[in-house]
Amino acid sequence: MAEEMQAVVKVRGEPNGTELLTVDVPRPGVNDVLIKIKTASICGTDVHIFNWDAWSANRIKPPLIYGHEFAGEIVEVGNNVKNAKVGDHVSGECHIACGYCFNCRSGLAHVCKDTKIFGVDVPGIFAEYAVIPAANVWHNDPALSPEICSIQDPLGNAIHTIFSTDVVGRDVAVLGVGPIGAMAVSICKNIGAAQVFAIGRKNTYRTELAKKVGADFTYLAADDVKGDVMDKTDGKGVDVVLEMSGNTNAVVQGLDLLRPGGTISLLGVYADKLTLDLSTQVVFKYATIKGINGRLMFDTWYRMKGLLKNERIANDMKTIITHNYEFKDFQQAMEKMRSGNSGKITLHVGD
Ligand SMILES: [Zn+2]
Ligand SMILES: [Zn+2]
């Protein structure tokens, strides 16, 4: 077993504070597993940490190995571990729940009041090896590539959001066409949404990607979105809005596109506060607003395993992974991700 490994470390709290360093391979505790990482995937959260914005300055304590989306193989297990063994192909739920709080004990572990996230609060997986609690291990379908397995965290976010409401036979607007938005478009279409309207802000690379994975209509924010959506829904508006941009303007737009009695589910993380005219935009519209966080542990993962057996969905995920970089080229991969001209970006860490 190697003693040292390469890892992407946030060494200083500043925009250029990320370095590829040689560090000690972590040792698993009695309830942990040690994983050899094959593929890691870059998340919006990682971009926040790389950029060192207000959120990360508040939350992250350098030095920290970041990254939380991965697929790999177990190479060592702690003495108490019974659910996993050496050689297992796994990914992991990145929310470490305490297991004891009210939320954890009432089926809401995804919003555990003491949630720790690996790559955010504890060391993450942008490394050749990583330790995670055995309780967070997810066994992957061997038929799936490590690249697809590595994106289950955001795919799970999309699936959790979609199944918080009912999209089958419904008109759906997806606001925000980053990787999670594109994943949502694919799932909605593949499970039988009537029409999917995908709305980006100004990036045509990403609206094109949404189109490739099944969006019926794509728009940029400057287009006459409402006119066209009303036209295509016989003046009704969409039944469901999935807000995945994290932009408060998109929430207002979503409420505007929503039909009376419809549901808007919010997955975005909003930097700005928002003032609404609750009477007209929500109450008299009889609208339902849902906040979505993480993935149901582990109902969303089981559902995802089932959905990924659908070849069209698995193929769409391949399309959404637009770039794959070698681990050592992490900085380049991050620059590409920051450009916005990409879908999901994966890193090849090891075999
Ligand atoms: Zn993520
Ligand atoms: Zn808890």
pLDDT digits over 224-281, tens only? Answer: 999 999 999 999 999 999 999 999 999 999 999 999 999 999 998 898 999 999 999 9
Average pLDDT over the chain, rounded to an integer? 97
Distance CA 118, CA 130 (A): 10
The catalytic position among 18, 22, 39, 48 is 48
Residue 211 clears pLDDT 90, i.e. is over it: yes
Where are the chain's structural domains? Answer: 4-155+296-348, 165-291
Condensed to tens digits (0 to 9), the pLDDT of residues 162-197 reads 999 999 999 999 999 999 999 999 999 999 999 999
How high is the pLDDT of residue 23?
98
Nearest ligand for residue 116 CA: 2
**Which tokens sit at 122?**
């504890």
- The answer to whether 45 is a known catalytic residue is yes
Dihedral angle over CA of 226, 228, 232, 234, nearest 10: 60
How high is the pLDDT of residue 268?
81
Q: Is 267 exposed, middle or buried (0-12, 13-18, 19+ CB in 10 A)?
A: buried
pTM (two decimals): 0.97
**Which tokens sit at 51?**
């950029």
Distance CA 196, CA 166 (A): 13
State mean pLDDT over 48-54. Answer: 95
The catalytic position among 45, 218, 233, 322 is 45
Residue 69 Cα, ligand 1 centroid: separation in angstroms?
Answer: 6
CATH code for 4-155+296-348? 3.90.180.10
How high is the pLDDT of residue 271?
87
165-291 and 4-155+296-348 share a CATH fold: no
Which residue reads 């609208």 in tokens? 287
Residue 135 Cα, ligand 2 centroid: separation in angstroms?
Answer: 13
State mean pLDDT over 311-323. Answer: 98
Q: Helices (H), strands (E): how many in the chain?
A: 13, 18
Dihedral angle over CA of 164, 305, 34, 62, nearest 10: -30
Residue 232 Cα, ligand 1 centroid: separation in angstroms?
Answer: 34
Nearest ligand for residue 41 CA: 1
195-199 and 171-175 strand pairing: parallel
Distance CA 190, CA 209 (A): 16
Distance CA 196, CA 224 (A): 16
How high is the pLDDT of residue 16?
87
- The answer to whether 139 is a known catalytic residue is no
How high is the pLDDT of residue 29?
98
CATH superfamily, with its number, for domain 165-291: NAD(P)-binding Rossmann-like Domain (3.40.50.720)
Residue 154 clears pLDDT 90, i.e. is over it: yes
Nearest ligand for residue 183 CA: 1
Distance CA 147, CA 349 (A): 11
> Which pLDDT band holds residue 292 (cuts at 50, 70, 90)?
very high
Residue 198 clears pLDDT 90, i.e. is over it: yes
My answer on whether omega of the bond before 154 falls inside 30° of 0, hence cis, is no
